[in-house]
Amino acid sequence: MRTGAKGIERQESRGVSLLGVVVGGAAAALAMVLGIRVVPLYVEFFAVQRAVLAVAQEEHDSPQAVRAAFDRRAGVEAIASVGGKDLEVRRDPQRGGWLVTVRYARTVPLFANVSLLFEFEARAP
């Protein structure tokens, strides 16, 4: 406790101010919006990565067969960002299998005219 100029005892204030609550709430709201918008992108990317790895390990006789197998897996995994036409498929001369690569970008609007751009690349092997 402190003694004021006239000898009256005052207690020091402790706690969070209204400004602190507003700033903390705004930061928490921004973090939640980012999480809600960004997490589904990474869930889909990991599904794309699994599908690319799976079709590269399977036996296919042509790049078209690899793309068709990816399209089937994309339907099961609910992959909407890329399709078989987006795959780059080449023969692996050392392994004898397929080298499969896909690159894609997604733009996520946050609020007003603010957006985030995510660029993904999945490859196998």
Q: Which of 1-10, 31-40, 61-70 has the lowest mean pLDDT?
A: 1-10
The whole-angstrom separation of Cα 105 and Cα 45 is: 11
**Would residue 82 count as lying in a domain?**
yes
CA angle 96, 100, 105 (to 5 degrees): 170
10 within a domain of the structure (yes/no): no
Between residues 28 and 1, the one the model is more confident about: 28
Residue 42 located in a structural domain? yes
Tell me the pLDDT tens digit for each residue of 81-108.
999 999 999 988 887 788 999 999 999 9
pLDDT value for 111: 82
Q: Judge whether 4 lies within some domain.
A: no
With respect to residue 9, please indicate whether it lies within any of the assigned structural domains.
Answer: no
Query: Is residue 76 domain-resident?
Result: yes
User: Residue 7 domain-assigned?
Assistant: no
5-15: burial string, b at 16+ Cβ within 10 Å, e else: eeeeeeeeeee
Number of domains forming the structure of the chain: 1
Distances (CA, A) of 36 to 10, 31, 69, 89, 101: 46, 9, 31, 33, 28
pLDDT tens column, 21-31: 999 999 999 89
Which residue range forms the structural domain that includes residue 79? Answer: 16-124
